[in-house]
């Protein structure tokens, strides 16, 4: 869409929405992205799921940071996050948006997510209501918004008892209404309780009244279709209504106006990869009166980014003549990381940090890291980061072998568990690492560690000699802690 077309569209929609008096001049957009909106956290399961929406104002957001208290616990490039937490635990989260220049928005208000697997089907508990509100009215249209249902899932939108379809969005624009008319807007959710036999149950309702006027809405466009997708855009096309062509078309994603055009096709941008959208299009006359909307189409952007971000190494520190600590970050959800010394692969890990041990004294290294994105392959490698170990003894203890899980028990209900690791070796002391974090030390060849129930961990073990120098690590071992659901 051209710049002039966007300006004309903005003026037209302003005329359609403002009815009583002219709105004050809009304030200049602040630098950086806007704060995410509508943050939601799940309340069931063996982890916590988060979802939010990004306003279409300010600098476009390219990634998001999830905070627990003041600690970043996830970096993602789409508007959802899945967090592994101990079973039966509660956590408070906020989310910020980050643009390409690294500018970060203010954080959202906090929400609480709880990891819990009920013994009683939560779908069979008393029906939870969903807050719903009117966010805008004109003589011919209304906008409504609502919160996600505590148990998640799509909702059915009905106007005066007639279904307008199912949606994962948290708002809708409804046009083609008569001036000064009252309408009942309701939301329904599928009841998944096996005892009640399923069916749709009402979870929200309100009455909305259009403003006064003498307008007659134009005829509605039809045949809205998706013409293409990328990781950040969706192409749409539709057919004009019969008769004289309308002055403009307004395209909505849920309740959010995303484009205004005189053409019968548009490309919606500023989207995030792997996100779902519910689009509708309405015709506008020269006064801004809005037709009924086309049938909605649901479209998803491409699952993978066309230009994934590269990791950034934040720390490369020589800890001893034989070990180096590395840490890094990447603004995307990664399932694992691979570390290279120059062009030689030297380690893989599920954590954004690692201690590389058993290195030669006074040796130079040039480390690079790539991330493996979930279902989307590898990112570009980070830039090289050089580090040199200090001078010291040449000898290193022999690396332990056969690291294995030999115990995995539930301790305290609901969140407590213990895992026992065992290995073989002849050294006097062993140190167990989780990523770059030492989690235990022992003079034997086994160690029991307290962990959160239903959490996943990756361990390595090194031998430590009398001078404190570490061997090369054992191969990593991934462990899933047990948990005990309530009866």
Higher-confidence residue of 426 and 102: namely 102
CA distances from 8 to 13, 16, 55, 288 (A): 9, 13, 21, 12
Say how many residues make up the chain. 487
The fourth-level CATH superfamily of domain 312-388 is Immunoglobulins (2.60.40.10)
Torsion angle of alpha carbons 59, 64, 70, 71, nearest 10°?
-140
User: 1-12+119-307: which CATH architecture?
Assistant: Sandwich (2.60)
* 393 DSSP 8-state letter: -
What pLDDT, on a 0 to 100 scale, did the predictor assign at position 486? 72
CA distances from 451 to 84, 117, 471 (A): 12, 18, 26
Q: Is the pLDDT of residue 294 over 80?
A: yes
User: 31-117: which CATH architecture?
Assistant: Sandwich (2.60)
209/160 Cα distance (integer angstroms): 12
The Cβ-side half-sphere exposure at 91, using a 13 Å CA radius, reads 29
Cα–chain-centroid distance for residue 472?
36
Among the ranges given (21-25, 54-58, 410-414, 424-428), the one the predictor scored with the smallest mean pLDDT: 21-25
Structure tokens at 93: 């989260």
**Domain 312-388 matches domain 401-480 at the CATH topology level:** yes
Q: Is the pLDDT of residue 176 over 90?
A: yes
Mean pLDDT value across residues 374-401: 96
Each domain of the chain, given as residue ranges in start order, spans: 1-12+119-307, 31-117, 312-388, 401-480
187-199 pLDDT tens trace:
999 988 866 666 8
Among the ranges given (52-61, 96-105, 209-218, 374-383), the one the predictor scored with the smallest mean pLDDT: 209-218
Q: Is the pLDDT of residue 250 over 70?
A: yes
Among the ranges given (27-31, 42-46, 471-475), the one the predictor scored with the smallest mean pLDDT: 27-31
Q: Is the pLDDT of residue 471 over 90?
A: yes
Among the ranges given (196-200, 204-208, 373-377, 437-441), the one the predictor scored with the smallest mean pLDDT: 196-200
What residues contact residue 389 under an 8 Å CB cut-off, 6+ apart?
A: 318, 320, 321, 322, 323, 324, 359, 360, 361, 362, 363, 365
DSSP 154-175: -EEEEETTEEEEEESSSEEEE-
Confidence band, pLDDT 50/70/90 cuts, at residue 429: very high
What pLDDT, on a 0 to 100 scale, did the predictor assign at position 124? 80
What pLDDT, on a 0 to 100 scale, did the predictor assign at position 304? 97
304-359 pLDDT tens trace:
999 999 999 999 999 999 999 999 999 999 999 999 999 999 999 999 999 999 99
User: 401-480: which CATH architecture?
Assistant: Sandwich (2.60)
79-91 pLDDT tens trace:
999 999 999 999 9
Q: Is the pLDDT of residue 19 over 80?
A: no
Average pLDDT, the chain: 92
Higher-confidence residue of 117 and 241: namely 241
354/150 Cα distance (integer angstroms): 37
31/191 Cα distance (integer angstroms): 44
């Amino acid at each position: 869409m051209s710049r002039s077309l966007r300006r004309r569209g903005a003026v037209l929609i302003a005329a359609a929405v403002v009815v009583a008096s002219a709105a004050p001049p809009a304030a200049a957009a602040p630098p950086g992205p806007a704060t995410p909106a509508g943050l939601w956290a799940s309340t069931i399961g063996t982890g916590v799921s988060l979802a939010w929406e990004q306003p279409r104002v300010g600098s476009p957001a390219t990634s998001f940071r999830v905070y627990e208290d003041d600690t970043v616990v996830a970096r993602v490039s789409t508007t959802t996050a899945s967090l592994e937490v101990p079973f039966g635990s509660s956590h408070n989260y906020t989310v910020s948006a980050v643009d390409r220049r690294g500018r970060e928005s203010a954080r959202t208000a906090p929400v609480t997510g709880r990891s819990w697997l009920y013994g009683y089907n939560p779908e069979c508990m008393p029906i939870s209501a969903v807050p719903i509100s009117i966010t805008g009215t004109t003589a011919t249209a209304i906008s409504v918004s609502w919160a996600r249902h505590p148990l998640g899932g799509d909702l059915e939108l009905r106007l005066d008892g007639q279904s307008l379809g199912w949606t994962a969005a948290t708002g809708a624009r409804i046009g083609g209404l008569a001036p000064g008319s009252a309408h009942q807007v309701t939301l329904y959710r599928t009841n998944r309780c096996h005892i009640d036999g399923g069916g749709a149950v009402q979870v929200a309702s309100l009455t909305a009244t259009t403003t006064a006027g003498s307008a007659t809405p134009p005829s509605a466009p039809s045949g809205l279709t998706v013409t293409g997708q990328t990781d950040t855009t969706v192409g749409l096309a539709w057919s004009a209504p019969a008769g004289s062509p309308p002055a403009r078309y307004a395209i909505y994603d849920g309740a959010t106006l995303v484009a205004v055009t005189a053409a019968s096709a548009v490309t919606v941008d500023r989207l995030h990869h792997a996100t779902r959208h519910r689009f509708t299009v309405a015709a506008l006359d020269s006064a801004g009166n809005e037709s009924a909307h086309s049938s909605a189409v649901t479209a998803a952007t491409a699952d993978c980014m066309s230009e994934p971000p590269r990791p950034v190494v934040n720390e490369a520190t020589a800890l001893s003549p034989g070990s180096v600590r590395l840490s890094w970050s990447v603004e995307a959800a990664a399932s694992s990381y691979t570390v290279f010394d120059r062009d030689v692969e030297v380690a893989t890990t599920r954590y954004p940090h690692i201690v590389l041990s058993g290195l030669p004294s006074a040796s130079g290294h040039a480390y690079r890291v790539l991330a493996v994105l979930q279902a989307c392959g590898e990112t570009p490698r980070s830039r090289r980061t050089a580090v040199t170990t200090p001078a010291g003894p040449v000898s290193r203890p022999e690396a332990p072998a056969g690291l294995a899980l030999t115990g995995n028990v539930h301790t305290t209900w609901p969140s407590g568990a213990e895992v026992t690791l065992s290995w073989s070796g002849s050294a006097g002391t062993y140190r167990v690492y989780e990523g770059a974090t030492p989690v235990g030390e022992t003079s034997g060849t086994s160690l029991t560690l307290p962990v959160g129930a239903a959490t996943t961990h990756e361990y390595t073990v090194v031998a430590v000699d009398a001078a404190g120098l570490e061997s090369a690590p054992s191969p990593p071992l991934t462990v899933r802690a047990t948990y005990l659901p309530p009866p």
